[in-house]
Amino acid sequence: QIVYMRELLGSNLFETTKAKLPLILGKDIGGQPILADLSKMPHLLVAGTTGSGKSVAVNTMLMSLLYRLPPEKCRMIMIDP
């Protein structure tokens, strides 16, 4: 099933979350949005096989931060070996 980011950005959970650095991860099996707080897990490894959606997942996480935070509050270092 395709999960649309616009739907998750407009969700009540994302709009009302108290997370300092909210990341949209997708939906659970029941169709509810799944969020994580990057401030509680500052080191993150995204791994998987070729074509499994790693780049899409990282882009979604970055976009969720950019939608929520002004540029001066969103700084990060990304390493892609």
pTM for this predicted structure: 0.80
Q: Would you say 21 and 69 are in contact if contact means Cβ atoms under 8 Å apart? A: yes
- The residue among 9, 39, 3 whose CA lies nearest residue 24 is 9
pLDDT confidence of residue 1: 85
- 62 occurs within a structural domain: yes
- 44 occurs within a structural domain: yes
Could you tell me which residues come within 8 angstroms of residue 59 by beta carbon, excluding any fewer than 6 positions away?
none
pLDDT confidence of residue 7: 95
Residue 58 has pLDDT above 80, yes or no: yes
Residue 41 has pLDDT above 80, yes or no: yes
Average pLDDT value for the chain: 92
pLDDT confidence of residue 40: 95
Domain that holds residue 68: 5-73
* Count of domains for the chain: 1
- 33 occurs within a structural domain: yes
- The residue among 21, 27, 29 whose CA lies nearest residue 76 is 21
- 47 occurs within a structural domain: yes
- 60 occurs within a structural domain: yes
pLDDT confidence of residue 30: 95
- The residue among 73, 45, 61 whose CA lies nearest residue 5 is 61
- 79 occurs within a structural domain: no
Distance in angstroms between the alpha carbons of the first and the last residue of the chain: 31
